[in-house]
């Protein structure tokens, strides 16, 4: 009798847990497909379904970060910093860019940082171009060095950075480093271990011991020197970006040296992240020195992540596509668009805009490559041109509209970047800078292979099935 009662109570508890979890997914999930999937999982897989839902289907980091924000545990945008930004806020777009005013209005609504004038961006090609400039800046730092990266390898390139950061700490510079809790595991020994007892202050973003946050990663890359100059883009730290060395795995990429008032916005994003990972509030005045104009580019930093109310980058990309009149050039290593982005790309092409998509021919993640192929047929059918650039793997992310507006930074065109990870991008209104990026794309296209609709149609049936299966799992890749 007792065994039967225990069994009945256990069964009732499982049913209650499944119903409660399914109800939570029904009310809280915005995407009906996601909601339906979790409801079916919770109701059809006893115990394990709710376990997976509460472990992976609930965005706890959003609630945690929002709570911190409301309680003041995020940088409070000090008045002196606001006044500095207001002095450099762009009152008008560059000549010829007036038709992009709706895009600016959209970004003004979803991004807290303003467009600021007087910036300069210098492309740095691969580790050979970026690392020497970054190490030189570290060597010249006087007050502070703030570095955030997803991957920090402990190979030769990584050790050069560690040595330079340790030297700076020994001469009295405040050195702070944020490494992603998952990204740090790409090499052994851990770079964080090598920084111990060097004076470098290191913090991990969401260490795996705090929870299995496989998706909620800090994918941002930025180096800020004395609050006056910065480096950002898509490049991690490691030998893999030294493409002139005979390594088994080589990754080509672009990074950017940044000067001008927008550096203050990068500093603000770093200090908010530092507060998030360490609990140390650093809103001192000396972290935000006056930043004179260094160029003519109008720009703003866009920090996006699952703790935000809006999907900022997604909305801005959609706005940029809707405003384009002549040309859209996209270069990304990982292309897994949702239906809304596919529709926007197709609509842009059907309006007569020349849309070009550049992908790596050999991807370091085969499943992503297969899923991407499953999307190409629909794009090619509507006149979008697709190119595969030859190996080695290219990690560069660029989005250029009409040779005037550019988006650079860490985000890929996939669900991880646009929904699940913390990303950092810069939107730039500058014809000269966009022209430089367009020339880079032209050079890539000259040595790339164009993908045709016929090639997609003539794929062997096993490849079509493989690509289709990979597409089914594309929201999780």
Q: Which of 14-18, 103-107, 110-114, 376-380 has the lowest mean pLDDT?
A: 14-18
Supply the pLDDT for residue 73: 45
Decide: helix, strand or coil at residue 136.
Answer: helix
Question: Is residue 130 a contact partner of residue 396, using CB atoms and an 8 Å limit?
Answer: no
Q: Highest mean pLDDT range out of 164-178, 244-258, 265-279?
A: 164-178
Per residue in 444-469, pLDDT (tens digit) is 999 999 999 999 999 999 888 888 88
Residue 349 has pLDDT above 50, yes or no: yes
Supply the pLDDT for residue 405: 97
- Supply 127's token pair: 């580790």
How far CA 366 is from CA of 121, 202, 277, 373, in Å, comes to: 33, 33, 33, 11
User: Between 245 and 153, whose confidence is greater?
Assistant: 153
- Supply 37's token pair: 């999937």
Per residue in 321-344, pLDDT (tens digit) is 999 999 999 999 999 998 899 999
How far CA 49 is from CA of 35, 40, 256, in Å, comes to: 13, 9, 45
- Is the CA virtual torsion 66, 68, 72, 75 positive or negative? negative
| The pairing of beta strand 229-233 with beta strand 201-205 | unpaired
Length, in residues, of the chain: 477
Measured distance CA(269)–CA(116) in Å, rounded: 15
Mean pLDDT of 49-69: 64
Q: Which residues pair with 387 in a beta bridge?
A: 358, 450
- Is the CA virtual torsion 461, 463, 469, 471 positive or negative? negative
Question: Is residue 422 a contact partner of residue 217, using CB atoms and an 8 Å limit?
Answer: yes
In terms of Cα–Cα distance, which of 233, 228, 245 is closest to 150? 233
Mean pLDDT of 80-102: 78
Binning pLDDT at 50, 70 and 90, where does residue 86 land?
A: low
Residue 268 has pLDDT above 60, yes or no: yes
Does the bond joining 353 to the residue before it have cis omega, within 30 degrees of 0?
A: no
In terms of Cα–Cα distance, which of 301, 302, 328 is closest to 404? 328
Which residue pairs from 88-92 have beta carbons closer than 8 angstroms and sit at least 24 positions apart in sequence?
88/116, 88/117, 88/118, 88/261, 88/291, 88/293, 89/114, 89/115, 89/116, 89/117, 90/114, 90/115, 90/116, 90/117, 90/298, 90/429
Question: Is residue 410 a contact partner of residue 233, using CB atoms and an 8 Å limit?
Answer: yes
In terms of Cα–Cα distance, which of 60, 15, 52 is closest to 34? 52
Supply the pLDDT for residue 15: 82
User: Between 414 and 428, whose confidence is greater?
Assistant: 428
State the average pLDDT for the chain.
88
Supply the pLDDT for residue 186: 86
Tell the residue number behind the tokens 């070009």, with chain if given.
356
Q: Which of 2-16, 234-248, 266-280, 401-415 has the lowest mean pLDDT?
A: 2-16
Mean pLDDT of 132-150: 97
How far CA 199 is from CA of 2, 168, 169, 228, 273, in Å, comes to: 62, 9, 5, 22, 20
Mean pLDDT of 299-313: 84
| The pairing of beta strand 254-259 with beta strand 251-252 | unpaired
Residue 157 has pLDDT above 50, yes or no: yes
Tell me 89's DSSP state.
Answer: B
Residue 5 has pLDDT above 80, yes or no: no
Measured distance CA(120)–CA(418) in Å, rounded: 26
Mean pLDDT of 369-375: 90
Question: What's the predicted TM-score (pTM) here?
Answer: 0.87
Percent of the chain at pLDDT > 70 equals 88
How far CA 11 is from CA of 4, 5, 351, in Å, comes to: 10, 10, 58
Tell me 301's DSSP state.
Answer: E
In terms of Cα–Cα distance, which of 137, 148, 132, 88 is closest to 114? 88
How far CA 7 is from CA of 3, 51, 441, in Å, comes to: 6, 20, 65
- Supply 61's token pair: 């980091």
Residue 475 has pLDDT above 50, yes or no: yes
In terms of Cα–Cα distance, which of 413, 367, 368, 359 is closest to 388? 359
Supply the pLDDT for residue 72: 46
How far CA 84 is from CA of 194, 325, 389, 439, in Å, comes to: 38, 34, 43, 34
Measured distance CA(395)–CA(392) in Å, rounded: 10
Supply the pLDDT for residue 122: 97
CB atoms closer than 10 angstroms to residue 469:
13
Alpha-helix residue ranges (DSSP H) falling in 285-430: 312-323, 339-350, 366-381, 415
In terms of Cα–Cα distance, which of 200, 233, 202, 218 is closest to 133? 233
In terms of Cα–Cα distance, which of 424, 407, 137 is closest to 267? 424
């Amino acid at each position: 009798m007792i065994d039967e009662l225990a069994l009945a109570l256990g069964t009732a508890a499982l049913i209650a847990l499944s119903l409660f979890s399914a109800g939570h997914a029904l009310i809280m999930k915005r995407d009906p497909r996601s909601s339906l999937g979790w409801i079916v999982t919770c109701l059809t897989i006893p115990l394990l379904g709710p376990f997976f839902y509460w472990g992976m289907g609930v965005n706890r980091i959003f609630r945690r970060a929002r709570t911190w924000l409301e309680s003041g545990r995020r940088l409070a945008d000090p008045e002196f910093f606001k006044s500095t930004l207001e002095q450099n806020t762009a009152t008008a777009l560059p000549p010829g860019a007036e038709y992009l005013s709706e895009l600016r209005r959209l970004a003004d609504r979803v991004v807290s940082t303003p467009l600021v004038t007087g910036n300069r961006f210098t492309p740095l090609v691969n580790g050979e171009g970026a690392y020497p400039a970054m190490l030189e800046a570290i060597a010249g730092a006087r007050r502070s060095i703030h570095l955030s990266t997803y991957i920090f390898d402990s190979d030769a390139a990584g050790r050069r950075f560690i040595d330079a950061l340790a030297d700076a700490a020994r001469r009295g510079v405040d050195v702070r480093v944020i490494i992603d809790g998952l990204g740090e595991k790409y090499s052994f020994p851990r770079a964080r271990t090598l920084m111990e007892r060097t004076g470098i202050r290191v913090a991990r973003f969401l260490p795996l011991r705090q929870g299995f946050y496989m998706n909620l990663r800090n994918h941002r890359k930025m180096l800020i020197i004395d609050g006056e100059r910065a480096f950002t883009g898509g490049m991690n730290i490691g030998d893999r970006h030294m493409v002139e060395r005979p390594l088994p795995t080589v990754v080509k990429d672009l990074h950017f040296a940044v000067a001008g008032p927008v550096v203050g916005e990068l500093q603000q994003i770093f200090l908010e992240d530092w507060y998030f990972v360490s609990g140390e509030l650093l809103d001192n005045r000396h972290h935000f020195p006056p930043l004179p104009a260094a160029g003519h580019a109008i720009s703003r930093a866009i920090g996006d992540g699952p703790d935000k109310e809006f999907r900022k980058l997604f909305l801005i990309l959609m706005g940029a596509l809707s405003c384009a009149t002549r040309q859209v050039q996209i270069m990304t290593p990982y292309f897994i668009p949702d239906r809304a982005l596919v529709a926007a790309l197709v609509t842009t092409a059907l309006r007569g805009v020349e849309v070009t998509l550049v992908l790596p021919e050999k991807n370091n993640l085969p499943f992503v490559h297969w899923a991407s192929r499953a999307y190409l047929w629909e794009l090619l059918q509507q006149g979008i041109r697709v190119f595969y650039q030859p190996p080695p793997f290219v990690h560069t992310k660029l989005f250029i509209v009409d040779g005037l507006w550019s988006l650079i930074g860490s985000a890929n065109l996939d669900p991880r970047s646009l929904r699940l990870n913390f990303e950092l991008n810069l939107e730039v209104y500058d014809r000269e800078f966009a022209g430089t990026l367009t020339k880079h794309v032209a050079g890539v296209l000259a040595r790339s292979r164009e993908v045709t609709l016929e090639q997609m149609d003539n794929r062997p049936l096993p490849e079509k099935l493989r690509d289709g299966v990979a597409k089914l799992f594309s929201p999780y890749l």
